[in-house]
Amino acid sequence: MRKIIRTLVSAMVFAGLAFAANPKVAPDFLLVTIQGDTVKLSSLFGKVVIIDFWATWCPPCRKGIPGLVELKEKYGDKIEIIGISVDNNVEKVKSFYKEQKMNFPVGMATKEIIEKYNSIRTLQYIPTTFIVDKKGNIFDVRVGYTDKTEFERIIKMLFSSK
């Protein structure tokens, strides 16, 4: 069992290193949030950005949201988290947003955004989370629940990189 876990961890680290070795700029998008504001990804370059594709009906997504909220509270303006919901009902997303006290922009997925990010990693499963470095390059992609301590480890690593 330990060997399997080590292999999985090594694969995840390798994925991050593969993106780091062959940087790919995160596809830009303009997201209209559920509050009616707009977020343009490229305007956030200079910060570490976490782009989280999720849904209200997804148990691993629901489990991960509180950790993202905590990270945003802890790091404030040094990072940005963008939630992109694949739900069909914006009212459910708004209700979930309030219930979870989410403190980062959340918008509904569009066909254009999905197509752009499918070109990097098929968005077959959620949550799928893209971690973008300060230069706007995709550093890592996580599929499934990721604990906030793992995100924090990557954030700290990206803070220290030039």
Please give the helix or strand (H or E) that residue 148 lies within, else none: helix 148-160
Q: How many CB atoms lie within 10 A of CB 13?
A: 11
Which residue numbers are catalytic?
A: 58, 61
Residue 143, SS3 per DSSP: strand
What order of strands is seen across the sheet that includes strand 138-143? Answer: 106-108, 79-85, 48-54, 128-132, 138-143
> What is the rounded CA–CA span in Å between residue 77 and residue 47?
8
Task: Locate 151 and state its tokens.
Answer: 């995100």
In DSSP terms, 131 is beta-bridged to: 50, 140
Residue 153 CA to residue 146 CA, distance in Å, equals 12
